[in-house]
Structure 1
């Protein structure tokens, strides 16, 4: 196990800056998911870590070893990492044993016991060793690609959107098998992905990237519940944004007076609430009311679009609630909206006094 540390990384494609003073620490034996849209710099970051691309500034350390810096450059083959690409990239003319042991010293290629161990580690029978890649499903091929990456017992494993080409059901099963194998090997892992659920469920730490910078880095529950800004909030799923007024640790908004997380001061603010925090019921005299304007039914649950009635600000807000599939209201219904848990403040414009202005 080795800790990965990036400090002040800058990198460009011809005439186009991509990474802009990126800092990141991946503790030994943990997994960090780098999450962001296409073109934000995720794959460039992975290439810098692997040594496929030299940064213009900054340092990359693997454990105590400096592998990239102003006067230092360790080539990819000496960095001791395992790499799993989006498509797996297995050799079609080799059987699985040959694919897994490819790149190992010649004396280790004949170790069939190790091949069997690796196949079983990624959830495949040991007797698959003699099969060829075209005899496997896409998910099985990705597991073999991971087995090949683990064959050299790397200190760092890099995953470049390895599940994106799989259908949803196969993606989950493959992701679970890969995660179990990596935990078993105590690997330090960097996963690049644009899948919100994948980042939250797979990683110990999520690093949200936009335009070559990290907007927020933290444990999945922290970045989900307390996003740093609107972009970070929507990167991790549906979010409801409401203007309000903060006073004495509570915010008054279109959904009533709500407790907020870690808030001090007072003033105009914007808060974020996740759709699953909104519970709907028949209208009551005391609860805020909303009109159902649209529904999306998924079977196990549904998304319900709501327009709050009597919003204090007078603005036409549109919110989304996630409800059980069997409790989906109809378009045109008026429902009471109950907020479970705390809202999170994204922005705050503190109230000022004449004294603060020197009056």
Structure 2
């Protein structure tokens, strides 16, 4: 049975050239990049080269890139770093549809006595910018928001968010884990202060990420230790992962047009045909600008988790929401914030594609999904 992988917002397969970029630093070039002898030279050079490649993808300068272990670490560095530097400012703004990598650190500060404002979205997943304007205060330390939603793919207007926040001298952190590698991102044009990314979301390895920190931004390092990353993130660098991340960024930079055209066309055909073939189905966020690879579809009256099992039996891999909350058994907080009832949210599945997704993959999925939905509905009625 062929596996059809449509869970690329959870993680992506590592490209062969990305894997090969790791190999030398796990074998012959195993030295510490901070070492002054010859065994440190190639690892140090690899870290420098990768920093330039990451910066190039984002439109940043290399000194503004800090390597981390993950997107979650990157968002925590930004959130905690700003709060530590501005202890007299005890108000944080975020949105109701954030990933737990943003929501949980912000909620932690709420438990410590900070004021937290969680901005609403509408039925299409769009952020209420007027609510942002009204929420900003003199003691607001940070606005933390995502570039694009991991469940629905809905894209936020980051340039407008930054303009509004900077109008009150409030920095902005952007969780771009789902956006980097799928859409062009220019941090200078957007004006963001922090931007988080994770390598495994765009065909890099797991365990490596980065955070862009705009030059001149006021923040305090979260971890204390050695002088790595210019003292901004101590600890011996994951050279193999960093080298691979650089290659993944190079590949992503050359693949953005493909994502915009071919991957989007696959996603649109997938949605159009399923909506035609499956009665009482709906796409969440369809009225909004979305990532070209993401489709969150609801099938009225269906238990999404049960449907996942049946899809898996025919080789189709997708998800009922964020992989980081898989197994929690709770309805999606994202879909709930968009106004879906618990029953509606529970009927939804996320299908997320990549540049490796083929027409044959989509054809097979279109063949199986309607039949599975029909069988589940028929069994429910007969029960």
Q: Greater share of helix residues, 1 or 2?
A: 2
Alignment TM class, shorter chain as reference: under 0.3
Instruction: Name which structure has the greater RCO, CA cutoff 8 Å, separation 6+.
Output: 2
Q: Greater share of strand residues, 1 or 2?
A: 1
Provide TM-score, normalisation by structure 2: 0.26
- Which one has the largest radius of gyration? 1
